[in-house]
Structure formats: C-alpha cells, structure tokens
Amino acid sequence: MDNSLLRINNLSSGYGDFQALFDVSFCLEKNSVLGLVGANGAGKTTLFKSILGLLPREKSMIQFQRQDIGHLSANKLAGLGIAMVPEGRRLFSSLSVYENLQIAADYGRKGYWTIERVFELFPILAEKQKMPSLSLSGGQQQMVAIGRALVANPEVILFDELSLGLAPTVVNDVYAAMPSIIESGISAILVEQDIERVRKISKNLVCMREGKIVLSGAASQFTKEQLTTAYFGE
C-alpha cells in the first residue's frame, strides 16, 4: 500500500542561472518524521523554498496525496495542508504572541489544533500571550513559530533549522513537543544540523550535499560514521 503523503520527484531548481538542486527525489510517509541533514549550502532551505513555490519548479516535481502540486503558490499549499516553520522563525514582529497564533486560526484549516491546545503544549506562551512576539526569548519565539504552524492544522510541517541559535536546554524543550505533534496526525520534514538528534526522532533520513541526495533510507539502518561521511563527503 502506498503510504506516501508528500513525494518529491526529480526536483531541480535554483536561483536564476545558478542551479542549486539536482534531481532530488524522496518521499514523506504519513504520520512520520523525515530527517533532512546536510552541511550549510547543501540545498536544504532551497528545497523547502521550492516545495513552497518560492523558487521555480515544475508541476509534477511535487506530489501531495498523489496530486501534482508543483504549480501551486504558498497560500494554496497552506490550504492543502502544507505549513512551514521557517529558519529564523519569521514571526510577525508588530503582533503579539496571541495575534501571531490568531492569524493562523483565521486563515488556516480547522482541526485538532487550536490556540488553547498550543498553550497546553507550550504553557509559557499562555503566560506571555499579550506580549510582543519579538520580546520573547529565542526558544519561546521558536515555540510561537511552531504553534503558529500547528494552529493552521496542516498535514505536513516543514521545520527549517529548528534548533538553530537556541541553547541546548531550550532545544530539549522544543523537541519534547515533537511526539505530541506527530501523534496528532501531522507528518514532518525536519531540517537539522544535529545528526544524532534527527536520527533519533526520524523514521527516514535524507542527507544532501551540493544540491544532491547522497544518502537516503530508514534512519535506523545508518551508522554514525556512514552519516558523517555522507554529510561531509570523502
């Protein structure tokens, strides 16, 4: 039985004349986490931008629930159920924590995740809901970014550099929420620099280098050495 939710088929893309992705193919299964690792410049963020339609791609290069979606814009993809937690959070700086979540509730899909449920997941946000979003610490801002994506009730969340710039204890807090998110029926692609952490949480793993996939398969089948070699090259 085909359990695929999001399928990337020979995706090639880039910035103008510069090609950054070369025939990238993989599949995200339903109710699972796919870890995407690679050094800086490997093409991970470019891949997310291509999926979201911020960079050129062809219709059949991306399939969601077996439908071609490579021609759709970011707002239409959000309607289908693809959300993103972008690198650097990108919160709405003039809005409060509550308003950042409210806008996702207004424009997103209806479902299990509500603002109240996000506050249960991250109780600190309930305490700080009236505060300007940018007055929060980096970890709390990351929680707002995750909460904002959740309130839109997506099928898939693309997490870009979830732990970037956060203290290790804060990263633990953020990752502690992941099981609840996956249990609610959301699948995720997780871009992360920390190979060990991503290997533990992911069902499948993809390693990229210089815009190409150099290793992919079940996360449990790879040793740390294999991953390190794929990550940095020979």
Task: Note the Cα 148 to chain centre separation in Å.
Answer: 13
Q: Does 114 bind other proteins (CB under 8 A)?
A: no
Q: Does 74 bind other proteins (CB under 8 A)?
A: yes
Cβ neighbourhood burial of 206 (10 Å; 0-12, 13-18, 19+): buried
Q: CA 223, CA 67: separation in Å to the nearest integer? A: 35
Q: Does 181 bind other proteins (CB under 8 A)?
A: no
Q: Does 52 bind other proteins (CB under 8 A)?
A: yes
State in angstroms the smallest separation of the CB of 64 from other proteins.
15
Q: Does 112 bind other proteins (CB under 8 A)?
A: no
Q: Which residues are within 8 A (CB) of 234 and not within 5 positions of it... i.e. 6 or more apart?
A: none
Q: Does 73 bind other proteins (CB under 8 A)?
A: yes
Q: CA 46, CA 63: separation in Å to the nearest integer? A: 17
Of 191 and 213, the one with the shorter C-beta distance to other proteins is 191
Q: Does 152 bind other proteins (CB under 8 A)?
A: yes
Residues that bind other proteins (CB under 8 A): 52, 54, 73-75, 77-79, 83-84, 86, 90-96, 98-99, 102-104, 106-109, 115, 129-130, 148, 152
